[in-house]
């Protein structure tokens, strides 16, 4: 494959399709431009509030922190929340901060 191919990895889609984002990031961290973070149920499940799904968000963030991989990780708000979009994104942000504490 060309050296110009890079990955914008959505860990929610990747995980729900049956793949391990932690293993993939470990192996290909030098070819990943950024991550999209979302929580989903496994086996092509729905998007859910962070902490209610099966996506390994905490292990992914811990890996980035421990290995010091320079990969930006973006919150991707795709579940149907009970509050405003701003409030729901803040919940995701707090989840990520707690995961890295």
- Mean residue pLDDT of the chain comes to 96
Closest C-alpha to 47, from 19, 78, 23, 16: 78
Residues 65-78 have pLDDT tens digits of: 999 999 999 999 99
* pTM exceeding 0.75: yes
Which region holds residue 78: left if phi is over 0, alpha if psi is between -120 and 50, else beta? alpha
Tell me, what's the pLDDT at 2? 84
SS3 state of residue 30: helix
Q: Name the helix (H) or strand (E) containing 75.
A: strand 73-75
Residue pair 21/8 in contact by the 8 Å Cβ criterion? no
Residues 7-42 have pLDDT tens digits of: 999 999 999 999 999 999 999 999 999 999 999 999
pLDDT reading at 1 higher than 80: no
SS3 state of residue 89: helix
């Amino acid at each position: 494959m060309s050296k110009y191919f890079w990955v914008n990895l959505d860990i929610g889609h990747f995980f729900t399709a049956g793949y391990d984002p932690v293993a993939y990031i470990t192996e290909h961290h030098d070819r990943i431009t950024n991550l999209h973070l979302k929580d989903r149920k496994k086996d092509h499940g729905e998007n859910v509030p962070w902490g209610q799904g099966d996506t390994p968000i905490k292990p992914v963030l811990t890996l980035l922190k421990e290995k010091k991989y320079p990969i930006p990780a973006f919150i991707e708000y795709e579940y149907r929340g009970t509050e405003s979009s701003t409030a729901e994104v803040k919940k995701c942000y707090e989840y990520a901060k707690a995961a890295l504490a």
